[in-house]
Amino acid sequence: MIEVRNLKVRFGNKVVLDGLNLKVEKGESLVIIGPSGCGKTVFLKTILGLIEPEEGEIIIDGRNIVKCNKNEIFKIRGKMGMVFQSSALFDSLSVWENVGFYLLHHSKLGEKEVKEKVREILKAVKLEGVEDLMPEELSGGMKKRVAIARALISKPEILLYDEPTTGLDPITSKSIMQLMKEIHENFGTTDITVTHDIKLTSFIAERIAVLENGKINETGSFEELMKKSENALIKSFLEMERKNEERNGN
């Protein structure tokens, strides 16, 4: 579904991604881990076509978006949904207007039809009866579900998640984890998630990619990478896992 070849992204004198290579299979749930500031979010935005790389190729469903014009990129972007770390809801729009934003502006559907599709997708994320509420009236977990619903409304083939559990309490975080897994299974999406959350990683990752120094240095299942304790980043994940087990009394 996605193949990235020798990707290089630079901001001024700072090279963020430096010859990154990665393949993501259709229907896979891939989690990218890495230290803060290593370029995980930049990578997602580059896949979306929001950041133009200095070098390399990004092939999505057979098309190299680096060589596409803006109209072509927009069409390819229609196959993708993005869930931002802060949810990024429009404060001045109601829940239904936020979720239905894509259809309202990029389809020929009328308001009544869009509202019906919004109700259906809100039901899919287990959030009903909130269509007319404003974002300020929602809890953090509800905002995240609305953001996921907005990403799903166009029936994307690819879902991108940027730190989806950051800032949520443990119970809400667990419910979002479960929702992400259900959506992946029920909608058959190809998912790329960037996170620091070890519980989320172990729960949803079919494969993990370790991003360090602008490159993907390791890939494998959660179990495979946990055995490679010589990697400093993986060591830190192991330490977090140990502390979580101690905290839970295991």
Cα angle: 176, vertex 204, 119; to 5 degrees: 40
pLDDT over 90 percentage in the chain: 67
How many folded domains does the chain comprise? 2
C-beta separation of 25 from 191 below 8 A? no
Q: How confident is the model at residue 230 (pLDDT cuts 50, 70, 90)?
A: low
Q: Which of 155, 183, 212 is the last residue of a domain?
A: 155
Which amino acid, 164?
P
pLDDT for the residue numbered 243: 61
The Cβ of residue 165 has, within 10 Å, a number of other Cβ atoms equal to 24
Give Cα 105 to chain centroid, integer Å.
23
Residues 119 and 134 both lie in one domain: yes
Q: How confident is the model at residue 235 (pLDDT cuts 50, 70, 90)?
A: low
Residues 206 and 130 both lie in one domain: no
Six-digit token pair at 129?
């009866």
Q: Which of 127, 155, 183 is the last residue of a domain?
A: 155
Task: Write b or e for each residue in 232-242: b if 16 or more Cβ atoms lie within 10 A of its Cβ, otherwise e.
Answer: ebbeebbeebe
Residues 133 and 187 both lie in one domain: no
Q: How confident is the model at residue 199 (pLDDT cuts 50, 70, 90)?
A: confident
**Rounded Cα distance, 212 and 209, in Å:** 10
Q: How confident is the model at residue 82 (pLDDT cuts 50, 70, 90)?
A: very high
Task: Output the average pLDDT for the chain.
Answer: 89
Q: How confident is the model at residue 250 (pLDDT cuts 50, 70, 90)?
A: very low
H/E segment holding residue 249: none
Domain assignment of residue 13, yes or no: no
pLDDT for the residue numbered 212: 87
Q: Which residues contact 216 (CB under 8 A, 6 or more apart)?
A: 20, 21, 22, 209, 210
Domain assignment of residue 79, yes or no: no
Of the candidates 220, 239, 219, 221, the residue with the CA atom closest to the CA atom of residue 229 = 239
Residues 173 and 230 both lie in one domain: yes
pLDDT for the residue numbered 209: 94
Domain assignment of residue 105, yes or no: yes
Domain assignment of residue 47, yes or no: yes
Q: Provide the pairing of β-strand 29-33 with 55-60.
A: unpaired
Residues 178 and 246 both lie in one domain: yes
Read off the pLDDT of residues 122-171 as tens digits, 9 standing for 90 and up.
999 999 999 999 999 999 999 999 999 999 999 999 999 999 998 889 89
The SS3 of residue 115 is helix
* CB-count burial class (<10 Å; 0-12, 13-18, 19+) for 202: middle
CATH code, domain with 170: 3.40.50.300
Q: How confident is the model at residue 3 (pLDDT cuts 50, 70, 90)?
A: very high
Domain assignment of residue 7, yes or no: no
Give the range of the structural domain holding residue 132, as residue numbers without chain letter: 85-155
Q: How confident is the model at residue 113 (pLDDT cuts 50, 70, 90)?
A: very high
Residues 94 and 54 both lie in one domain: no
Domain assignment of residue 219, yes or no: yes
Domain assignment of residue 12, yes or no: no
Six-digit token pair at 24?
């993501």
**Rounded Cα distance, 144 and 216, in Å:** 28
Residues 145 and 168 both lie in one domain: no
Residues 148 and 164 both lie in one domain: no
> How many helices (H) and strands (E) would you count in the chain?
10, 10
